[in-house]
Structure formats: structure tokens, C-alpha cells
Amino acid sequence: MSATFAELWNGIAPIGRVRNGGYLRYALEEPELVLRDWFRNQAARRDMAVTDDGNGNLFAWWGDQWGHDAVLTGSHFDSVPHGGGFDGPLGIVSAFLAVDELRRQGHVPSRPIAVVAFVEEEGGRFGVPCLGSRLLSGAIEPEKAAALTDRDGVTFGEALGGTPAGRLPGLTGRINALVELHIEQGRALDVPVGVASAIWPHGRWRFEFTGIGDHAGTTSMADRRDPMLTFAYTVLAANKEARLAGALATMARVEVEPNATNAIPSLVRAWLDARAAETGTLDGLVDAVMKRAHDRAGRDGTEVDVTPESFSAEVTFEESLAGRIAGLLGGAPVLPTGAGHDAGVLSAHVPTAMLFVRNPTGVSHSPAEHADEQDCVAGIGALARVLGDLT
Ligand code: GLV
Ligand code: MN
Ligand code: MN
């Protein structure tokens, strides 16, 4: 079977799309489960055997699934809530189409090629990003992953149907390279295809601001212990500290109890996403935000408790592989990114590389995320060339 980009892309475009044009594709929930069925179907049409690693990651094999020195390519189906449709699925669609292109050329791979769909890359449902690749590589314990809960209290273990398998050296040890194709998420790429050099270190910290819930109409301003004030100050402090450090800080998810118009809240729970080019800068930024939050809590009569939820260390993609790919693509630009990826997590265990497809506006994690069709087609051609070269 050989399909065009438009055929495959239009086939999945409606799945999980909501009214604002963005996507709700939470891992292991209905729209993402439909995409996983789509994956199995695409594999079957290409005579590729599908395996599940017991962590929720799917593999479609061209060649021996037990073979050595396999070359993996793919990405993830899940989206951030109301995110775009390209972040993740573009890498999987492009992977199947690159297989088609290689077969059209009569390429006979010297080692297995596998298309992979990693589970829960965004951490949009269970909170920890790149959960599937962390499990596979042993960066998180299976029991800890199994106990992670979504907003409705469903655990990852329940959604998966059991405790994940965890670290699989027998599988990662048989991978020669992973090449993830992804839409570029900034404004730095002005040609159709680029190559990743590095991923900034980044992480997520949960802040719980507690105070005293009370009546909005009867509690004097002087008597209040309002955690919303501490939270609001912390948001502004994070923004200021990030600007001073030349780093990035975002507080974009918040839960309020009781979340009533006429009640002073008793609790505000909010998440800090912080990133920087260097680990030292990131550590300094997070320390500074925590200190400002605690200082302010002292003045508001509130309390603040901070829990680190996930951390992704700085990644430098293997220079020889990135250089080889850039050369193969006629001197494609090599650029770093502040976005996290499964390829980053696995780079500690197997040689990994990433191809970026131009994003004309740079907007991502938003319904406005977009890549032009001709750039996507160029990305598929580039991926086919890379896979052909590696196999
Ligand atoms: C993943 O897309 C992230 O960088 O948050
Ligand atoms: Mn993303
Ligand atoms: Mn992604």
C-alpha cells in the first residue's frame, strides 16, 4: 500500500478535534485509542507486525521484530489539551509514509525498521511527560507510573490495564538509532526541514498555596488569609525571574478550591513549567521563584508547599549522527529546542536524532499550530533518506 500525505493526514484530522479547532487526545482515552487502532490498521496494510512493549508504546516492524540494530522512527498521538494536531502525529504519519517511499524505491533494509507510537508524551493526562519513553528506559519506576492519576482519579495502571513493564534493556539494547520527526515549535527554522542539536533542561513543579476559606462579603481585607494572592504574586515573580535569567517560566494550569465567586479560596494548586538553556540557570530560576513564593506567603498568612513532578535533563543529540543527517539533507540547519521529546529521554540509552519540519508561525500547543503540506511532504522525503541511509 502506498498513500499520499493528504490521504493519511485527512484520515486522522477529525479524530479528537473539538470546536475551537484544537485537539483533546488524552493518552489511552477514546480519541487516542482510535488513533492506536489506526496505527494497527496502517501497520497491517503494510504487512508490519505490531508489538506493545507493556508500557503502552506501540511498535510496527518492517523486518524481524527480534532483530538487532533496529532503527526506530515515530512520535506520539496524545496532545496537550486543546493543542494542535501536528505535535506528535506528524512524526507517526511521516514514519509510515517514509516506509512507503523506501519500498517504492525498492530499498531492502539491512536491519529492522520500526514505526513507534510513544504513550503519554505530553503528560496531559497523568502529569509526567514522556511517560512511555521514561518507562521503557527505566527513568521512572513502573509502580510509580502505575499510581499516577488523571483529573478523574483514574490511575495510569488502570488505563493501561495493569502495572507497566518498565525498563526493557532487551529492547533498547537492540535499537541502533531513533529518529523522531516533529513539527518545529519555535520561529527559528526558515527552511522546510532542520535537524535538532539539543533540548533545554526543563521540568514541572506543583505549588500548593493554602489559606483559610471564608465569606467574601463578611471577611475584612485585614483578616483574610487568601492563597490566591500568594499564587498571583508567584505568577508575576516567575515571569520576572525568568526574564532576568534569560530563561522560560510558565504557570498555566491552576485548580482552586472551592472555586466559588463569593468565597475566599482555601487552596490554590498551580504548576510551574520552567526551562533554560543550562541546568544551573534552571536551578537558579526555580529556587528564586520558590523563595519569592515563600516570602510572599509569610506576608499573606498563607502557606506554600512545592513538589517537583518531573524533570528532563539537558540533552545534546549525538553530534556525529546529527551532522551525518544534516549533510545527507544538503546542509540542513541544526538547531536546539526548548520543547521536550521522547527522543530526548531515549538519548541517554540509544543514539537519537530529530528532524524538524518548518512551522511558519512557530505557534504550537495551540489550535493555531500549523505546517504547510509541501513542508510535511519534504519532511517525509528527508526522513526516508535518513532511514535509507541508516539501513
Ligand atoms: C512537550 O511538548 C513539552 O515540551 O512540554
Ligand atoms: Mn508537545
Ligand atoms: Mn511532541
Specify the CATH number for the domain of residue 334: 3.40.630.10
**DSSP per-residue string spanning 287-353:** HHHHHHHHHHHHHHT-EEEEEEEEEE--EE--HHHHHHHHHHTTS--EEEESS--HHHHHTTTS-EE
Q: Distance between CA 320 and CA 326 in Å, rounded?
A: 10
pLDDT tens digits, 35-70: 999 999 999 999 999 999 999 999 999 999 999 999
Gap from CA of 56 to ligand 3 centroid (Å): 16
pLDDT given at position 205: 98
Q: Is the CB of 124 under 6 A from ligand 1?
A: no
Q: Are strands 113-118 and 248-257 parallel, antiparallel or unpaired?
A: unpaired
The length of the chain is 391
The residue from 278, 311, 344 where one domain ends is 311
**Spacing, Cα 45 to ligand 3 middle (Å):** 26
Ligand 1 test: best mutation among 86, 87, 122, most atoms within 8 Å of CB?
Answer: 122
Crossing angle of helices 89-104 and 373-390, in 10° steps, is 60
Q: Residue type for 97, please?
A: L
92-123 per-position pLDDT tens digit: 999 999 999 999 999 999 999 999 999 999 99
78 Cα–ligand 3 center, Å: 8
Work out the average pLDDT over 166-195. Answer: 97
Residues 19 and 96 in one domain: yes
Asked if residue 206 and residue 195 are part of one domain, the reply reads: no
CA–CA separation, 332 vs 62, rounded Å? Answer: 27
Residue 78's pLDDT band (boundaries 50, 70, 90)?
very high
Per-residue pLDDT tens digits for 206-232:
999 999 999 999 999 999 999 999 999
Q: Which atom of ligand 1 is nearest to the CA of 339?
A: 4
**pLDDT value at position 373?**
98
CATH value at residue 254: 3.30.70.360
* Location of C-alpha cell 511521516: 94
Would you say the pTM of this structure is higher than 0.95? yes
pLDDT (mean) for 3-19: 96
Burial level of 221, CB count in 10 A (0-12/13-18/19+)? exposed
> If you measure from the C-alpha of residue 331 to the centroid of ligand 2, how many angstroms do you get, rounded to a whole number?
26
Write down the pLDDT at residue 1.
Answer: 58
The verdict on 256 and 108 lying in the same domain is no
- The confidence band for 2, taking pLDDT boundaries of 50, 70 and 90, is low
Across the beta sheet with 202-210, what order do the strands follow? Answer: 248-257, 267-275, 202-210, 303-312
Q: Are residues 295 and 330 in the same domain?
A: no
**Among 266, 289, 311, which residue terminates a domain?**
311
Both 12 and 159 in a single domain?
Answer: yes
Same domain assignment for residues 307 and 380: no
Report the sign of the C-alpha dihedral through residues 371, 40, 44, 67, in that order: positive
Same structural domain, 62 and 32: yes
User: How close is the Cα of 5 to the center of ligand 2, in Å?
Assistant: 21
pLDDT of residue 3: 83
For a ligand 1 pocket test, name from 119, 341, 363 the mutation site with the most ligand atoms within 8 angstroms of its C-beta: 341
Are 363 and 320 in a shared domain?
yes
How far is the centre of ligand 2, averaged over its atoms, from the C-alpha of 333 (Å)?
A: 21
The preferred substitution site among 130, 365, 366, 369 for testing ligand 1, maximizing ligand atoms within 8 Å of CB, is 365
CA 1 to chain centre: 30
Domain identity same for 192 and 209: no
Using the mean position of ligand 3's atoms as its centre, give its distance from the Cα of residue 54 in Å: 21
Q: Domain containing 340: what range?
A: 2-200+314-390
Model pLDDT for residues 301-351, shown as the tens digit of each residue: 999 999 999 999 999 999 999 999 999 999 999 999 999 999 999 999 999
| Cα separations in angstroms, 3 against 6, 11, 46, 94, 378 | 8, 11, 11, 11, 15
> Is ligand 1 within 6 A of the CB of residue 340?
yes
Instruction: Report DSSP state, residue 253.
Output: E
Indicate which residue's Cα is closest to atom 1 of ligand 1. 340
Q: Are residues 284 and 219 part of one domain? A: yes
Q: Are residues 340 and 305 in the same domain?
A: no
Closest ligand 1 atom, residue 202 Cα: 4
Q: What is the C-alpha separation between 164 and 184, in angstroms, rounded?
A: 31
Instruction: Give how far Cα 123 sits from Cα of 117, 214, 310, 335, Å.
Output: 15, 34, 10, 24
Q: Give the number of the atom of ligand 1 that is nearest the alpha carbon of residue 121.
A: 1
Mean pLDDT, the chain, whole residue set: 97
